[in-house]
Amino acid sequence: MTEYNETEFLICVASRLMENRTVAFVGTGIPMLAASLAKKMHATELIVAFEFGGIGASLDKLPLGVGDSRTFHKAVIASGICDAMETAQRGFIEYGFLGGAQIDMYGNLNTTVIGKYWPPKVRLPGSGGANDLGSHCWKTIAIMRQHDVKRFVNKLDFLTTPGYLTGPGSREAAGLPPNTGPFRVVSNLGVMGYDEKSKRMMLLKTNPGVTAEQVVQNTEFEMLVEEKVGTNDPPTAEELKILRNDVDPDKLYI
């Protein structure tokens, strides 16, 4: 078996969620590398959107951030932040990749503060474009590098980005577009989805060597569990070769 590290594994799992001929809004880090890997593997016609207005870049070389000139290289659109967000509002973006310090059972995210708003225990970067993506993309995918009870919580310290808010119907009641919202959560323990009726988070697949019980124990809220929990396949030799040699040869992230 080919050796790989946790970051490489998360990149490969996230990459497999991206479908060909769709649009994915990504940020710096794992989502950016996952999109680049997908374009070089199974989703060659994937259109990648960046917050600063680059849409459809070739990703021949890995950008260093969402405003890097490489996010505009051979792009179909070179615009700005307002146009990028409006593209999501108009319903043209299938997947939005998000991250957070905390996530709850309905996929709501906190990237603002830990503890009281003032004085804070920890002040976080804030929303950026995450609230826009969580509000308007058809399907959002949260990347949570660490799965534990401090991050998968009963109640957020601050709601930055809406998931399914308080449950069925609450997004629509808040004025958000129908049929949008959380789709998947990718963590170092597994992949979660959401129950169609209750909108609560549900364990779908565990990572190699991880049990469903471990996922439940490392989640503060009551995690729903699929009747037949699958296992995420480890990175293939081809995925690792492309990731290491073509996507991130300088090992800036992996």
Q: What is the CATH number of domain 6-247?
A: 3.40.1080.10
Kindly tell me if the per-residue pLDDT of 1 is higher than 60.
no
Q: Has residue 119 got a pLDDT over 90? A: yes
pTM over 0.85: yes
pLDDT of residue 65: 85
For residues 154 and 15, give the distance between their C-alpha atoms in angstroms, rounded to a whole number: 29
Residue 66 pLDDT level (bands cut at 50, 70, 90): confident
CA-based nearest residue to 12, from 41, 44, 48: 41
Provide the mean pLDDT of the chain: 95
Half-sphere exposure of 14 (CA within 13 A, CB side): 35
Domain boundaries, the chain: 6-247
Structure tokens at 111: 């990237």
Summarised one tens digit per residue, pLDDT across range 72-116 is 999 999 999 999 999 999 999 999 999 999 999 999 999 999 999
Percent of the chain with pLDDT over 90: 91
pLDDT of residue 128: 87
Q: What is the pLDDT of residues 34-52, one digit of tens each?
A: 999 999 999 999 999 999 9
Residues 203 and 192: their CA atoms lie apart, in Å, by 4
At residue 121, the pLDDT reads: 95
Report the C-alpha gap between 103 and 194 in whole angstroms: 13
Highest mean pLDDT among 28-32, 42-46, 56-60: 42-46
Q: What is the pLDDT of residue 27?
A: 87
Per annotation, catalytic residue among 8, 19, 51, 222:
51
Q: Is 51 a catalytic residue?
A: yes
pLDDT over 80 (residue 187): yes
- Per-residue pLDDT band for 143 (boundaries 50, 70, 90) equals very high
| Cβ atoms within 10 Å of 114's Cβ, excluding its own | 16
Q: With both helix axes pointing from N to C terminus, report the angle between 6-16 and 30-40 in degrees, rounded to the nearest 10.
A: 60
Q: Are strands 23-25 and 47-49 parallel, antiparallel or unpaired?
A: parallel
User: What average pLDDT score do residues 197-224 get?
Assistant: 98
